[in-house]
Chains A and B, each alone.
Chain A
Amino acid sequence: MKKTLTINISGSIFHIDEDAFEKLQAYLRTINTHYGSSEEGREIIADIEARISEIFHEKLNTKDQVVNVEMIEETISIMGNPEEIFATDEDNIDDEANQETETKNTSEKRKRRLFRDPDHRVLGGVSSGLAAYFGIDVVVIRLLFALFILLGYGFPFLLYVILWIAVPKAITTTQKLEMKGKKVNISNIEETIKDEYKEVKESFEKMRAQNGPQVSDGFDRVIDFAGTALRLVLKILIILLGIGFVFAGFVTLISFIGSMVFVNSFFGPFSDFHFPGTVFPHMFLDGNSITLFTIGILVVIGIPLLLLIFAGLKLLFNFKTNNKIIGFSALAFWIVGIILLVSLSLSQIKGYMQSSTRYSENLALQTTTDTLYLKTNDNIDFDWHEGHIGLDNIKIIVKDDKEIIIGEPTLDVEKSTSGKFEIKLKKKSRGRSNEQASENAESIEYEWIQTDSLISFNQYFTLPTATKWRNQKLHITVKVPEGKVIYLDPSMRKIIHDIDNVDNTWDYDMLDKMWIMKTEGLSQLEK
């Protein structure tokens, strides 16, 4: 039993065995590729097909008879092998006249090209194509691919996909011949280079011999020699460049993708893994934006790298591609990536558009003495040496597996008008809208404690866990009435900020001293 197909050649319908069909298809494809798609080429192909159709008509006795392999073989022997047909081709004759040194066997002399091998494929035929190209057993290449992927290296997989996309499939007989054509492996590259080197040497020696007695056409020889030498150097350069491109592209791409994947999975919403250095983006963005940003950055940075690798591969292996289509689609994707990033950035900037400031009431302090002692209290056990992410005055730290967002307040001293010690808090934040900004400002949590005449300020203010960075700020103003005294404990160095005083004393020199509020301002109390 055989499967039969129905085909239409030059307007006639034929039933044909599957194996016969494949043979005929391969034959016509070879002819097609040779004559190409020019008008003349198409006409020649149409004529040949019309003749094949005629031959079938002659050979088939009844309409229902099936075209079989023998009939195809007969037809091909009548029409002639592709090589015989092409022999009358003008271009071909010229070509062959030029290539005197080449051997007769066409399959041998063809330069090897990298193709995907559709006849021995598992996935895309990349491995079998590479095997044919390098003349290695395909098993070796498949094992290498599998091994690397098992070991957790991503790049062979990526390489496979790139080759799958970029390398054309060997369809026609010519392409299949080219796929296994003259060897081009590393030793072969070496060989070609050696050959060219020999050529250079020979032309150099020839030049010297000719230059000996008479220097007649020495100039031509020099040019000839220089040309050959240049060709050799260029070839070596191209190979080195190709290797460099592929290598650089891969290394950058892998480390880049690695870092993206790493960052995304470690601070992503699916992970309960927390350590400083990974919490960064979600300080600013919500989950969706992070994903989109990641994609955008991957595209914008990844595409040039992929093109680099592609260019390198093209320099190394000689294969045909439609560069225009690849270039344009890459450009299109890249632009989409850029647009994505820009629009995301714009929408993020909106989150900082409005600013809002909230002032607390002036809190009058009940004190029994004329002196107020100010100190700072470590409300959060945090050391600079511990890991944290800081941005301006806001920090994200991780304590007991919990993220805490803390900020450093600033403290200033002013004159009180009410005759009492007062404390005023100023909370500031940005947000998408005015309401949002003031909501953000409102969410700033801060405490200070009064024990008689001792005020202890928390060193940090805190923000609720899910809060995003919106440039939150807290400013504390301590108001001192005239004639009253404050003492700045050394621990205050952590929060005092540019306190005005009559002597223009630096903040840190004001510590551990008593200061009295006079009409003209804060001045040091003489001991």
Chain B
Amino acid sequence: MKIENTKAQMRKGVLEYCILSILSRNDAYASDIIKELKEAKMIVVEGTLYPLLTRLKNAGLLSYRWEESTQGPPRKYYTIATLGTEFLNELDQSWQELVEAVNTIKK
């Protein structure tokens, strides 16, 4: 068992949760999502986000539309899908449970 693996796996699950949470507040460009995640120190490099976004989109949790940009080419504007909202609600619940569980044990 490698600590790096455990960390990566934990982070990956939480990262999906975070992306859905950000998008549940309002629609956003990838760069906006990145900015927020970076501020929260959830991600260090931007590259990690793109595979995740694409996979969430393909899973039907997200959708996007193209928005014209003032500088450069049109950009993807992400929205949370109905399926994503349901998913997020479940995640909220299990997150709560997890935090409580860990807190109880760690106490």
Query: Chain A: residues with CB nearer than 8 A to chain B?
Result: 10-12, 31, 35, 40, 43-44, 47-48, 50-51, 53-54, 57, 77-82, 84-85, 87-90, 93, 96-97, 100, 104
Contacts and interface: CB of A to CB of B under 8 A. Distances in A.
B31 A54 contact: yes
A43 B54 CA distance: 7
A100 B58 contact: no
A81 B31 contact: no
Contacts of B75: 50, 54
B73 A11 contact: yes
Interface string B29-59: 0110000000000001111101111110010
Interface string B1-28: 1101100110110010000000000000
A93 B8 contact: yes
Contacts of A11: 73
B45 A78 contact: yes
Contacts of B53: 47
A79 B45 contact: yes
B8 A88 contact: yes
Classify the secondary structure of B's interface with A: helix
A80 B45 contact: yes
Nearest to B58: A40
B45 to A, nearest CB: 2
20 contacts: A12-B72, A44-B51, A47-B50, A48-B47, A51-B31, A51-B46, A54-B75, A57-B72, A79-B46, A84-B47, A85-B50, A85-B51, A88-B15, A89-B51, A90-B55, A93-B9, A93-B12, A96-B2, A97-B9, A104-B4
Contacts of B11: 88
Interface of B: 1-2, 4-5, 8-9, 11-12, 15, 30-31, 44-48, 50-55, 58, 71-73, 75-76
A81 B72 contact: no
A130 to B, nearest CB: 34
Contacts of A96: 2, 4-5
A48 B47 CA distance: 7
B39 to A, nearest CB: 15
A77 B73 CA distance: 23
A85 B53 CA distance: 13
B5 A93 contact: yes
A57 B71 contact: yes
A53 B72 contact: yes
A48 B50 contact: yes
B48 A80 contact: yes
A80 B58 CA distance: 23
Given A40-B54, A79-B45, A97-B5, 4 more contacts: A57-B71, A88-B15, A96-B4, A100-B1
A10 B55 CA distance: 20
Given A79-B46, A80-B45, A85-B45, A47 B76 contact: yes
Per CB-CB distance, the 5 closest pairs between chain A and chain B, nearest first, are A80-B45, A85-B47, A80-B47, A79-B47, A47-B50
A93 B6 CA distance: 9
Given A88-B12, A100-B2, A47 B48 contact: no
A39 to B, nearest CB: 9
Most buried by A among B4, B9, B54: B54
Contacts of B4: 96, 104
B48 A88 contact: yes
A96 B7 CA distance: 12
A96 B1 CA distance: 10
A48 B53 CA distance: 11
Contacts of A82: 47
A89 to B, nearest CB: 6
A185 to B, nearest CB: 29
A35 B55 CA distance: 12
Contacts of B12: 88, 90, 93
A93 B47 CA distance: 16
Contacts of A57: 71-72
Nearest to A45: B50
B48 A50 contact: no
A71 to B, nearest CB: 15
A88 B71 CA distance: 30
Contacts of B50: 44, 47-48, 51, 85
A51 B54 CA distance: 14
Contacts of B1: 100
A80 B9 contact: no
Contacts of A78: 45-46
A300 to B, nearest CB: 50
Given A44-B50, A48-B50, A84 B73 contact: no
A54 B58 CA distance: 24
Contacts of B54: 40, 43-44, 47
